[in-house]
Every structure is written in structure tokens, then in C-alpha cells.
């Protein structure tokens, strides 16, 4: 069943750039779809519209049948991880993760339980007291992922989350994220310009060019016919 439905979404920036051009896509429950394409092909703009950080010029986005096209990010069941993690450096890891739950007025004991569980999930059990600026780049991205996951979004949005990491770490995190995604069964959109990354992680790949789908299919199909 389709959880995310993107229907003929267009984004034209002031100045006339057609970043996304009548783009449509259905994403099934638990599916990981990679948006692959060169810089400027509209991947990030599309992802930001799904997350509510950018308003479509036209078209409709629904999640679980609810029209979210004009809802702000905090009212959508989505969690976004950006290329640069944007953690709060003046707070420790625990507080970074607890923040969103506090806003939801969750009781402290429950917050603690959820934060500890998600830290374990991303391989950072026991790191709650660390300040985020004492962590390595990979650890910081794990915290950023945990901060999204702790709010239990229906859809996870990842915008080149490993771009700033070295090749070795990138490959490791790729596997970790895929493993976590499958364990949680969370529907995920993953933006990348790396074909390797898309091939190794995706259930389906959408190859974008000029704000449109150039090709779509399972990794083996897209790979054979580039
Ligand atoms: P990608 O993520 O594939 O690199 P983007 O979605 O970032 O592509 O960009 C698609 C196009 O939209 C590019 O031509 C880019 O310059 C343009 N663009 C992106 N954001 C803005 C903005 N805020 N204002 C104007 N143009 C933008
Ligand atoms: P605030 O000043 O924002 O109220 P607190 O320091 O009182 O934040 O922490 C809020 C809750 O989070 C408390 O229950 C506290 O015990 C708990 N907490 C804070 N840091 C950690 C941590 N590293 N590990 C586990 N629990 C923590």
C-alpha cells in the first residue's frame, strides 16, 4: 500500500527556475526509495517539499491519505536528516534527542526510555552525557538520525546525510542506516548523487533530471540500463 503520494508537484522559484517539474511518485509502506541524479536535478527541493520546508507551486502531497501539501514541518509525520546535521552544540546528546519529546509534553521517564532505546538503535548507547561537538562526524550523523527517529515519524527523509564523511565511514553508515530502516520498517526517501549509494541501499531508484523522473525501477534494472 502506498504511504506517500506525490501528485504532479511543481516548484518554480522566483526568478523562474523550474526546480521540480510536474513530478509524481508513490512510495509503498516500508520502502526505501533513493532519489538519484546530478547536482541541480531537483532532488533536494523535492525532499524539502515532502518535509514541509518548501512549498510547492502546484501539485499535491498526501501521507497516509492526508493532504499535507500546506502543513508546516512540525505538523507532518516526517523526520528529516540534513547533510549538515545541525545538532545543538550547547546541549548534550540526551537533550538533543529529548527536546522534541519535551515539546510534546511527554513525561520524563518515558522520554528517558525512548531516548535510551534510540541511542542503542544507532549504536550510541551510553553517549547521552556527551556534548555533540565532542563527537566524530559519523557519531554526529548518528545522533541526527536518532533525533529524527525518536519522534517516530512515518516517513524518514535523508538529504545526502553522509556527504561530509570519508568513503570508508560512508559505506559503514550506509549499511547501518539500511539495517535500521529495515528493522523499523520505516518508509524512507533518500537523496544522493552517488550511484553506489543508491544501488546498495534502495528498494527502488528514481533517477532525476531537470526536476523530472528520467528513470525509475529496482536497482538491478536501473543499473543495467543507465
Ligand atoms: P539537487 O538537490 O538535485 O542538487 P536542488 O533541488 O538543490 O537540486 O536544485 C534544483 C534547482 O533549483 C537548481 O537549479 C537550483 O539552483 C535551484 N534552487 C534550489 N533552491 C533554490 C532557491 N531557494 N532559490 C532559487 N533557486 C533554487
Ligand atoms: P532541563 O534543564 O531542560 O529541564 P534536565 O537537565 O533537567 O533538563 O534534564 C531533563 C531530564 O533528562 C531529566 O529527567 C534528566 O535526568 C534527564 N537527563 C539529562 N541528561 C541525561 C543523560 N545524559 N542521560 C539520561 N538522562 C538525562
- How many angstroms separate the alpha carbon of residue 19 from the centre of ligand 1? 6
- How many angstroms separate the alpha carbon of residue 95 from the centre of ligand 2? 7
- Kindly give the confidence (pLDDT) of every residue in the chain, 226 residues in length, as a single tens digit, with 9 standing for 90 and above: 899 999 999 999 999 999 999 999 999 999 999 999 999 999 999 999 999 999 999 999 999 999 999 999 999 999 999 887 688 988 999 999 999 999 999 999 999 999 999 999 999 999 999 999 999 999 999 999 999 999 999 999 999 998 888 999 999 999 999 999 999 999 999 999 899 999 999 999 999 999 999 999 999 888 665 5
The residue whose CB lies within 8 Å of the most ligand 2 atoms, and thus the one to mutate among 90, 91, 94, is: 94
Strand positions, DSSP E, the chain: 2-12, 18-28, 32-36, 58-63, 66-67, 78-81, 155-159, 187-192, 204-209, 212-217
What is the number of the ligand 1 atom nearest to the C-alpha of 54?
Answer: 23
Global pTM value: 0.89
Amino acid at each position: 500500500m502506498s504511504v506517500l503520494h506525490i501528485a504532479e508537484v511543481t516548484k518554480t522559484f522566483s526568478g523562474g527556475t523550474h526546480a521540480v517539474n510536474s513530478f509524481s511518485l508513490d512510495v509503498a509502506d516500508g520502502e526505501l526509495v533513493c532519489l538519484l541524479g546530478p547536482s541541480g536535478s531537483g532532488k533536494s527541493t523535492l525532499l524539502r517539499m515532502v518535509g514541509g520546508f518548501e512549498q510547492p507551486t502546484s501539485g499535491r502531497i498526501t501521507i497516509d491519505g492526508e493532504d499535507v501539501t500546506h502543513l508546516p514541518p512540525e505538523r507532518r509525520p516526517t523526520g528529516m536528516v540534513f547533510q549538515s546535521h545541525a545538532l545543538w552544540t550547547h546541549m548534550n546528546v540526551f537533550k538533543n534527542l529529548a527536546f522534541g519529546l519535551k515539546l510534546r509534553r511527554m513525561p520524563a521517564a518515558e522520554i528517558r526510555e525512548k531516548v535510551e532505546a534510540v541511542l542503542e538503535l544507532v549504536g550510541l548507547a551510553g553517549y547521552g552525557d556527551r556534548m555533540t561537538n565532542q563527537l566524530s562526524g559519523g557519531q554526529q550523523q548518528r545522533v541526527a538520525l536518532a533525533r529524527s527517529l525518536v519522534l517516530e515519524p512515518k516517513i524518514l527523509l535523508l538529504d545526502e546525510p553522509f556527504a561530509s564523511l570519508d568513503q570508508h565511514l560512508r559505506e559503514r553508515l550506509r549499511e547501518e542506516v539500511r539495517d535500521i530502516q529495515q528493522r523499523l520498517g520505516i518508509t524512507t526517501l533518500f537523496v544522493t548523487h552517488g550511484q553506489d549509494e543508491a544501488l546498495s541501499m534502495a528498494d527502488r531508484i528514481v533517477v532525476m533530471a531537470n526536476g523530472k523522473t528520467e528513470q525509475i525501477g529496482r536497482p538491478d534494472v536501473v543499473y543495467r540500463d543507465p
